[in-house]
Amino acid sequence: MKYLGYVLEHLRKDLRLEWRSRDSINGMLFFVLLMVVVFSIAFDPAGYPTVTRQISGGILWVGLLFASMTALNQSWTREQRNQVLEAQRMAPSPASALFVGKALANMIFVLVVEAVLAPVFIIFFNLHVLGDPWLLALILPLGTWAIVVNGTFFAALGLRARNRELLLPLILLPLSLPAVLMMVQATTGVLTAELDPIYLQSWIKQLAGYDVIYTTVCILLFETVLNAE
């Protein structure tokens, strides 16, 4: 079986597990929806539409970042239950395929949450996109992958730690800061149409570059992390 076949096998398994338990998606969805409601009450979007447009990109991404952390820890906890991870380690399939499969599954879960969140967010924040909305179709997956690929990797790194729920945000948040900056700038640029298209392109390209670099590093280092004691 080729590498892609192993990745798809892990992905299928994770999707099936989530379909049966719905732990990750439910947790993320409730968290992020509550956050949207709380922020919409706190900032009065109807009264200050321009300010709301300027800050809504930040609120969206910070909310998704925090929400995804609940799912990322959960995704590896499943592997630890009944010592399944040891069976994974004994399997001759490449370890990085497990990582890529899980990162793709987490990406799908977060995208599902984003799909549900988007209309709610638009309604609660009274948003009118002034820039090219199709660019969001590029920024959202790129930003989501940046969160998910690092999150999946560092959640695996903290697997054997006693305070892994605390460890993940402590490592992930500082490392995600450059990506968060790029996502927020690009999203705000599209929402407000105040950003020069050249700068907007630059943020999107930097975000894509961030994704490529971190994905490569995570894939290369995953086997070491998986077998660490």
Name the residues that contact other proteins, by CB under 8 A. Answer: 1-2, 5-6, 9, 13, 16-17, 20-21, 78, 81-84, 86-93, 229
In whole angstroms, the minimum distance from the beta carbon of 188 to other proteins comes to 40
Q: Are 156 and 99 in contact (CB under 8 A)?
A: yes
Q: Are 111 and 144 in contact (CB under 8 A)?
A: yes
Q: Quickly list DSSP for 190-224.
A: HHH--S-HHHHHHHHHHHHHHHHHHHHHHHHHHHH
C-alpha to C-alpha distance for 198 and 175, rounded to whole angstroms = 26
In whole angstroms, the minimum distance from the beta carbon of 228 to other proteins comes to 10
Nearer to other proteins, 92 or 174 (CB): 92
In whole angstroms, the minimum distance from the beta carbon of 26 to other proteins comes to 14
Within 10 angstroms of residue 100's Cβ, the number of other Cβ atoms is 23
C-alpha to C-alpha distance for 29 and 40, rounded to whole angstroms = 16
Nearer to other proteins, 77 or 192 (CB): 77
Nearer to other proteins, 17 or 55 (CB): 17
In whole angstroms, the minimum distance from the beta carbon of 229 to other proteins comes to 6
Nearer to other proteins, 93 or 206 (CB): 93
